[in-house]
Amino acid sequence: MPNLSIENLEYLVQTRQHEAAGNALFGLLYSMDNHAGSMDALTCLAPAALTPSEREMHLCERIAVATSRLFLDETFTLSPQGFRQFMCLQRWVSLIYGCTAQRNADHVIRTLCGVSSTAPDFAIPDAQLTKCLFLITVESELPINLDQLWSQNQTLAASLFFAWLSTNVMASPAAHQKREALLAWWPARMLEATDFVNWPLPVIHQVYMLCSYGFLDGRHAIKKSLNTLIRQQLIALNLGDVATALPQGMDSAQSKSLAKLASRLAVKPILAVRPTLMVITEWFSPGFAVYRTHSMTLRALKDKFHLIGVGPRSGASEVGQAVFDEFHETPAGDVLEVVAFARELANQKKPDIVYHLGVGMFPHTVYLSNIRLAPIQMVSNGHGASTFSLQMDYFITDEGYMSGQAAFGETILPMPANVMQMIPNVDTPDEFLKQVQRVPRERPAVLKIAIAAAIIKINPVFIGTLRTIAERSEAEGLPVEFHFPMAQAVGPLYQRIRAEIEAQLDDGIKRRTFVYPHQKYTVYMRIISQCDMFINPFPYGNTNGLADMALLGMPGICKAGPELAEHIDVGMFKRIGLPDWCVAWTIDDYIAATLRMAHNHHERWMLSKQLIEGKVYSRLNENQAPEVMGEILLKMCRT
């Protein structure tokens, strides 16, 4: 077992036992990474009077100080392998420094480079490059020339760019600007890569998925470049395709027609001989969103297909695995071993279709989406964006979620509203609501607005919009509070996002923000139930959070956009019966709609009453026909 003591790290740094100190720091960061940010496993002789939150800040301060001292020691160096390993965890260093008064490690970098704190520009000496790159976090305010850095050392620069783009908290202007700049500049230059295998590939899924939370119109272009490099790597290792693509026999219009026909037919009996459908899973257990949104259709598919699940044991519980006719757990460890395992399984089982529930939560799905394991391959909106992989044929989603303007590399297979329905988070909604006890307030003196979102959805543009809403509302005589019950907000993730939201929203006199760490579901719902309305984050909207609002009968506002992740809210708003004015297409309209709902107390109260009495949550689950998907996929196999 590694020694996760802060005192141990400090002692090793003080006594200049560099290798041991580096290992100790790596162990602390790895523990946080392995526990979703939690610092509970770290030991520390902290003052007894500290609250749990204060203890986390105390730990961050001490780790940051020890890291600074270690890296400022001239005799401490990073080997190429050590640098690669550390860069897979650099986002945690970013969060640790972000929780200190300094907010970043720029002061350490300037000392290493011999540059005064007032110098407008600086250059990193080659001898200090690995140290400095590890310390240049997304919160850094140093002027970084991307072209110069890429030309200086492509592999080291790529490691830094991966670290930035894999960071979960991008709420500060400095972090947001880095992401937008990289997503615009890097995709084309990335194809110049000559040493891709030595990049920090264990975080490739973070880079692949988190681009969707940016604002740039071309934010997904980086996926195309990553797909090219991954496929080249796999083919070079003889881990390429094991099947040949079929000519596409279905388009969006045909899918819609067939779905309407299948919806009118009686459920057909289980087939005697069923084609094989292989499902690649990521998170697939009752507590996860994808299980809620996809398990019903998968169970229905078993009438027509022999259903094989393939995925990590850590992501699929026994309940999740039981959805399939058979489930094969992938080996833990290196992603290439998982690819080899899945290829061998596909060789044995000869699936007619391979179905990814989503791509981007784990490295193995990003890799497997770039080789062909079956004649027909498809993906669904477990993550709300196209894969842009040439090996993926179809994208399955609810027809109400499509704007018609989103960029996709796959052919869209739109499903009717009653096909891909959600399983409730609670078995008995009426009994659960008695525990939560939501009672809409008719004319609150201070309006409470709920924002139920994961930390990755918060950005400075959204926070700035909230500040405008607060200032305009206060100018009209109605103070507002924003309540953030945040998913994934654990340890320094929580401390950093809380500090950034408060810094940008609170004005020093009035407290406008209440940011909560990750909560159990009942506690989370009680926090929301005390609010008067909700607003969804943008550009990446909500799905499960919106379903929770529907369960509570709470009205709210969303901002629509062309991409799938910007438009799912629109489909769900229509389904639960919120009026059209609750959907905004511009930030100005979003502000205006929020202020309208906030200030028109009777209108908001009547909306709440209608949603509660109408039990609108049931509209997300009514007239269920999950078997329709099976009819469409079966038709594809026979075409």
Instruction: State the pLDDT confidence band at 342, using cuts at 50, 70 and 90.
Output: very high
Q: What is the mean pLDDT of residues 184-209?
A: 95
pLDDT at 299: 93
Please determine, for residue 119, whether its predicted confidence score (pLDDT) is greater than 80: no
User: Which residues on neighbouring strands pair with residue 411, listed in sequence order?
Assistant: 394
How many other β-carbons are positioned within 10 Å of the β-carbon of residue 475? 8
Residue 518, token pair as written in the block: 């990750």
- CA dihedral 151→157→158→163, nearest 10 degrees, is -160
Please determine, for residue 292, whether its predicted confidence score (pLDDT) is greater than 90: no
Q: What is the mean pLDDT of residues 299-309?
A: 94
Tens-digit pLDDT profile for residues 495-519: 999 999 999 999 877 789 999 999 9
Instruction: State the pLDDT confidence band at 417, using cuts at 50, 70 and 90.
Output: confident
pLDDT at 253: 65
Could you give the residue ranges of the DSSP H alpha helices within 138-215?
A: 146-152, 154-165, 173-190, 204-210
Amino acid at 118: T
Fold observed for domain 429-620: Rossmann fold (3.40.50)
pLDDT at 542: 87
| Distance (Å, whole) CA 72 – CA 349 | 56
How many percent of the chain have pLDDT more than 90? 74
Strands 556-559 and 513-516: unpaired
Helix (H) or strand (E) holding 398: strand 394-398
> Residues of 452-465 as b/e, b for ≥16 C-beta within 10 angstroms?
bbbbbbbbbebbeb
| Strand, coil or helix: 279 | strand
User: Which residues on neighbouring strands pair with residue 413, listed in sequence order?
Assistant: 396
| Distance (Å, whole) CA 542 – CA 181 | 25
Please determine, for residue 165, whether its predicted confidence score (pLDDT) is greater than 60: yes
Instruction: State the pLDDT confidence band at 433, using cuts at 50, 70 and 90.
Output: confident
Sign of CA dihedral 28, 329, 543, 518: negative
Residue 239: which of 356, 360, 334 has the closest Cα?
334
pLDDT at 638: 73
* Residue labelled with tokens 């594809």: 636
| Distance (Å, whole) CA 361 – CA 383 | 8
Could you give the residue ranges of the DSSP H alpha helices within 99-172?
A: 106-113, 129-135, 146-152, 154-165
How many percent of the chain have pLDDT more than 70? 94
Residue predicted with more confidence, 628 or 447: 447
What is the residue extent of each domain of the chain? 252-423, 429-620
pLDDT at 374: 96
Tens-digit pLDDT profile for residues 567-590: 899 999 999 999 999 999 999 999
Residue 301: which of 268, 256, 347, 340 has the closest Cα?
268
* Residue labelled with tokens 């019966």: 577
Cis peptide before 539 (omega within 30 of 0): yes
Tens-digit pLDDT profile for residues 227-272: 999 999 999 999 999 988 877 666 666 665 655 555 544 455 556 6
Please determine, for residue 420, whether its predicted confidence score (pLDDT) is greater than 90: no
Residue 104: which of 72, 148, 60 has the closest Cα?
60
Ordered DSSP codes for 596-626: HHHH-HHHHHHHHHHHHHTTGGGGGSSS--T
Domain 252-423 grouped into CATH 3.40.50.11380? yes
Please determine, for residue 225, whether its predicted confidence score (pLDDT) is greater than 70: yes
Share the mean pLDDT of the chain. Answer: 91
pLDDT at 266: 46
Tens-digit pLDDT profile for residues 460-493: 999 999 999 999 999 999 999 999 999 899 999 9
Q: Which of 432-441, 451-460, 466-475 has the lowest mean pLDDT?
A: 432-441
252-423 against 429-620: fold identical: yes
For the chain, helix, strand, coil in percent to 5 are 50, 10, 40
Burial class (CB in 10 A: 0-12, 13-18, 19+), 257: exposed
What's the per-residue H, E or C state across 463-475? HHHHHHHHHHHHH
* Contact criterion met (CB below 8 Å) for 244 and 373: no
Ordered DSSP codes for 79-113: -HHHHHHHHTTHHHHHHHHHTSTT-SSHHHHHHHH
Sign of CA dihedral 347, 349, 355, 357: negative
Residue 574, token pair as written in the block: 């229509």
